[in-house]
Structure 1
Amino acid sequence: MTNPRLSVLDQTPVGEDHTPDQAVRASVDLARAAEDLGYTRYWLAEHHGSPGFGGSAPEILAGAVLAHTSRMRVGTGGVLLPRYHPAKVAEVFGVLASLHPGRVDLGIGRAGGPAHDFPQRLADLRALLAEGGVVPHAPVPPQMWLLGAGRESARLAGHLGTEFAFGHFFSPAGGTAAFQDYRAAFTASTGRRAGGALAVRVVTADSAGRAEELAQSLLLWRARKDLGHDRPMPSYETTRRHRWTGAELERAKVHRASLVSGAPEQVHAALTALAAAHGVDELIVNTLTPDPADRRRSYELLAEAFDLPRLMGQTGNGLAYERRLARKINL
């Protein structure tokens, strides 16, 4: 089976031993590394008022990442459209796409406000981007993606003819039905076949034991968040010393089902199976660790496991391959 393409969903995690401004800079550093490693696209998420996330303005971070990269697609995963007027979003992404033609993705989420008029807001935004109702109107408009974790979002994406990414880490059991609905609606609307991408939460390391240590930190953070204790991600030392409550263990068990973790070969097998089961040829990988160095290492190991330089080299991105090959032979 051909390896799927890999992309990055960056939520700009903040570890308890780091500050939010350090996390923001770490996102830009990781994006530069991801391009060199052969990742297809790099998305920045939007979160507000959460001590564990530093990315409250993904369109600003996307602009910084675009300025520090040259080939990889960059965008949002996603802008919370209920918080903004569609014209403002179209203007912002018109500027980004004018400065970086052919490289900008506009991922849209429906959280952050009342959802009753979301379909209309999305349709208005799509029309503004397609018809040039705002200034600047980029010669190559941003590619619009609808992000969701249910069948309603999937059908809406298909009806509007947008790309669709399903959040497996929100709803690990609902993806196959959602993609079926999306593809049926997309074909009915456009007459073309649809693809889609699956967003998966992943942690890997140089050994299964180390990967489990990273996973435990993530699961403790997520369990606390569910129980109303929203904090930065706990360090590994904090996690090792922590005495889990029954409620925390219960929440961790729930989230374990949507986490792919282990040594690189284990993760490769699991992710390949997920891609095949959902009929997608692209996985958008979300990795959360309290230390940026561990997050970067996880993405490096995934790139090696999926042979990204070879894959990207076949689509014209030979420079990333040459850089990786030069490092391997110590040129």
Structure 2
Amino acid sequence: MTLRLSVLDQSPIPGGAAPADALAATLELARAADDLGYHRMWVAEHHQTAAFAGTAPEILVAELLNITQRLRIGSGGVLLPRYEPLKVAETFRILATLHPDRVDLGIGRAGGHVHDFPHKLAELADLLEAPAPGYRPPQLWLLGASPASAYTAVTLGLSYAYAHFLRPEHSVPALEIHNVRTIEAITHNALAVRAIVAPTKATTRDLADSYLLWRSRRDLGHDEPLPSPLIARTHRWTTQEKDRADRNSRALIAGTPPEVHDQLAELAKIHGADEIIVNTLTHDPADRLLSYQLLAEAFHLVPTA
């Protein structure tokens, strides 16, 4: 089976830029992904952070649907603990009715009281499965980073996306659970991976260091926009930052197009996944766009009607 490649975008805010710039870059990326042959594009939900501008995925999803023709568009994901299931169901049902067979509703558990998350998720699934004459449902996905979330997806018969870039150590058992237990169900699964592609090894190192500095400082309590490669190159790394960077680098795939192609193909094989959702974080939106262009060329993606 041909490996599908998709995009997860968080509308990263570069140092020195504004949220409007980050949102505009997401729109530009969507247009490019539509032309390049990517399968779907998801936008994330983050709140009260200096790093990401995407706080309302349902609004971005509507805009991205309007400016693309072929891509599946969805949330990666809506943080269900913050909302009533009925409102989420109705919002995405309208989007799916306006854009048939193109809308995904990815659900995440973060952002609120998690004790009632299974109940809310089951309620949402029931609402979307219930007859609604004249409306179309979105495709419902559960986003997770543990074997437990895979079991939840199996129990409810949901498609499942595993966040390898958050907890790579549990990715194989989680997708194995979903693969084995939903073999007769009409569901899908995907592996979400953080990757950076650049034309040369030197550029790759610069872009990776920029990301790792941001991620390490974020882990240590410093919520900041993404630094430039120049800032990362001249930064005096603390011991704590170096330790965090070493740990975070294990979940980052960075390299030239052939290198990243081979690593993603191997990950897909190991996990039995037929889709990789790629998340790329760079200071300059042009570097992010080029990364996706190079990856599309490496995998010989072809847009379909």
Shorter-chain TM-score: what band? over 0.9
Alignment of 1:159-238 (within 5 A): 159-187=155-183, 191-192=184-185, 195-238=188-231
Residue 68 of structure 2 aligns to which amino acid in structure 1? T
* Structure 1: gaps (5+ residues): 319-331
Residue 49 of structure 1 aligns to which amino acid in structure 2? Q
Displacement of 1:32 in angstroms is 0.6
1:246 aligns to 2:239 (yes or no): yes
1:272 to 265, 273, 294: 265
Residue 78 of structure 1 aligns to which amino acid in structure 2? G
Report the counterpart of residue 28 of structure 2 in structure 1: 29
* Alpha-carbon distance in 2 for matches of 1:277, 1:195: 17
Report the counterpart of residue 59 of structure 2 in structure 1: 60
Task: Note the aligned Cα RMSD (angstroms).
Answer: 1.3
State whether residues 79 and 107 of structure 1, in contact with CA within 8 Å, keep that contact through their aligned partners in structure 2: yes
* Alpha-carbon distance in 2 for matches of 1:198, 1:91: 28
Displacement of 1:78 in angstroms is 0.2
Q: TM-score, normalised by structure 1?
A: 0.90
1:260 to 253, 256, 265: 253
SS at match of 2:169: coil
* Alpha-carbon distance in 2 for matches of 1:140, 1:183: 27
Displacement of 1:184 in angstroms is 3.5
* Alpha-carbon distance in 1 for matches of 2:118, 2:29: 34
State whether residues 195 and 280 of structure 1, in contact with CA within 8 Å, keep that contact through their aligned partners in structure 2: no
Report the counterpart of residue 18 of structure 1 in structure 2: 17
Q: Deviations over 1:173-218 (max 9, x none)?
A: 111101122233334xxx3375410000000111111011100000
Report the counterpart of residue 154 of structure 1 in structure 2: 150
Displacement of 1:276 in angstroms is 0.3
SS at match of 1:203: strand
* Alpha-carbon distance in 2 for matches of 1:35, 1:193: 25
Displacement of 1:235 in angstroms is 1.0
* Alpha-carbon distance in 2 for matches of 1:192, 1:95: 25
State whether residues 160 and 186 of structure 1, in contact with CA within 8 Å, keep that contact through their aligned partners in structure 2: no
Note closer, same or farther for the CA distance 1:48–1:10 as it changes in structure 2 (3 Å cut).
Answer: same
Note closer, same or farther for the CA distance 1:81–1:138 as it changes in structure 2 (3 Å cut).
Answer: farther
Displacement of 1:291 in angstroms is 0.7
Choose 86-95 or 192-201, whichever is displaced more: 192-201
* Structure 2: gaps (5+ residues): none
* Alpha-carbon distance in 2 for matches of 1:142, 1:119: 19
Displacement of 1:139 in angstroms is 3.7
Note closer, same or farther for the CA distance 1:193–1:61 as it changes in structure 2 (3 Å cut).
Answer: closer
Report the counterpart of residue 326 of structure 1 in structure 2: none
Report the counterpart of residue 327 of structure 1 in structure 2: none
SS at match of 1:114: coil
State whether residues 94 and 135 of structure 2, in contact with CA within 8 Å, keep that contact through their aligned partners in structure 1: no
Note closer, same or farther for the CA distance 1:53–1:256 as it changes in structure 2 (3 Å cut).
Answer: same
State whether residues 159 and 186 of structure 1, in contact with CA within 8 Å, keep that contact through their aligned partners in structure 2: no
* Alpha-carbon distance in 2 for matches of 1:139, 1:152: 32
* Alpha-carbon distance in 2 for matches of 1:217, 1:269: 23
Report the counterpart of residue 323 of structure 1 in structure 2: none
Residue 155 of structure 2 aligns to which amino acid in structure 1? H
SS at match of 1:250: helix
Displacement of 1:230 in angstroms is 0.8
Q: Deviations over 1:56-76 (max 9, x none)?
A: 001100100000011110000
Displacement of 1:171 in angstroms is 0.7
Displacement of 1:138 in angstroms is 5.8
Aligned length: 305
Q: Deviations over 1:277-315 (max 9, x none)?
A: 000010000000011100000000000000001xx5xxx
Report the counterpart of residue 288 of structure 2 in structure 1: 295
Residue 182 of structure 2 aligns to which amino acid in structure 1? F
* Alpha-carbon distance in 1 for matches of 2:86, 2:223: 33
* Alpha-carbon distance in 2 for matches of 1:86, 1:152: 21
State whether residues 93 and 135 of structure 2, in contact with CA within 8 Å, keep that contact through their aligned partners in structure 1: no
State whether residues 23 and 54 of structure 1, in contact with CA within 8 Å, keep that contact through their aligned partners in structure 2: yes
* Alpha-carbon distance in 1 for matches of 2:32, 2:188: 27
Q: Deviations over 1:139-186 (max 9, x none)?
A: 431000000000111000011111000000001111110112223333
* Alpha-carbon distance in 1 for matches of 2:136, 2:70: 15
Runs of 4+ with deviation above 4 angstroms: none
